[in-house]
Amino acid sequence: MLHAFTGEPKSREELRDIIKDAADNKLLDQEALSIIEGAFDVSEQQVREIMVPRSHMVVVRVDDQPEAFLPKVIESGHSRFPVVGESADDIKGILLAKDLLPLILNGQQDFVLESILRPANIIPESKRLNVLLREFRENRYHMALVIDEYGGISGLVTIEDILEEIVGEIEDETDEDVEDTFIRQVSDNDFIIKALTPIEEFNQHFRADFSDDEFDTIGGILMRAFGHLPQRNEATEVNGYQFRVLYSDNRQIHLLRLTTPEPLSH
Give the pLDDT band of residue 82 (cuts 50, 70, 90). Answer: very high
pLDDT tens digits, residue range 205-258? 999 999 988 889 999 999 999 998 888 789 999 999 999 988 777 778 888 889
Give the pLDDT band of residue 171 (cuts 50, 70, 90). Answer: low
Average pLDDT, the chain: 82
Residue 60: per-residue pLDDT = 92
Residue 225: per-residue pLDDT = 93
Q: Quick one: which of 154, 156, 92 has its CA closest to 119? A: 92
Compute the average pLDDT of residues 190-202: 90
Q: Quick one: which of 214, 224, 210, 217 has its CA closest to 193? A: 217
Residue 106: per-residue pLDDT = 65
Share above pLDDT 90 across residues of the chain, in percent, rounded to a whole number: 35
| pTM for the predicted model, two decimal places | 0.58
Residue 178: per-residue pLDDT = 41
Give the pLDDT band of residue 21 (cuts 50, 70, 90). Answer: confident
Q: Which distant-in-sequence residues (6+ apart) come within 8 Å of 189 by Cβ? A: 259, 260, 261, 262, 263, 264
Q: Quick one: which of 200, 229, 232, 192 has its CA closest to 216? A: 200
- Output the furthest CA–CA distance in the chain (Å, rounded): 81
Domains and CATH numbers, the chain: 50-167 (3.10.580.10), 178-259 (3.30.465.10)
Residue 181: per-residue pLDDT = 63
Report how far apart the first and last C-alpha atoms of the chain are (Å, whole number).
71
One-letter amino acid identity for 67?
A: E
- Is 155 in a helix, a strand, or coil? strand
How many CB atoms neighbour CB 195 within 10 A? 22
Between 178 and 142, name the one with better pLDDT: 142
Q: Are strands 183-187 and 52-53 parallel, antiparallel or unpaired?
A: unpaired
Compute the average pLDDT of residues 92-103: 86
Between 168 and 220, name the one with better pLDDT: 220
Give the pLDDT band of residue 7 (cuts 50, 70, 90). Answer: low
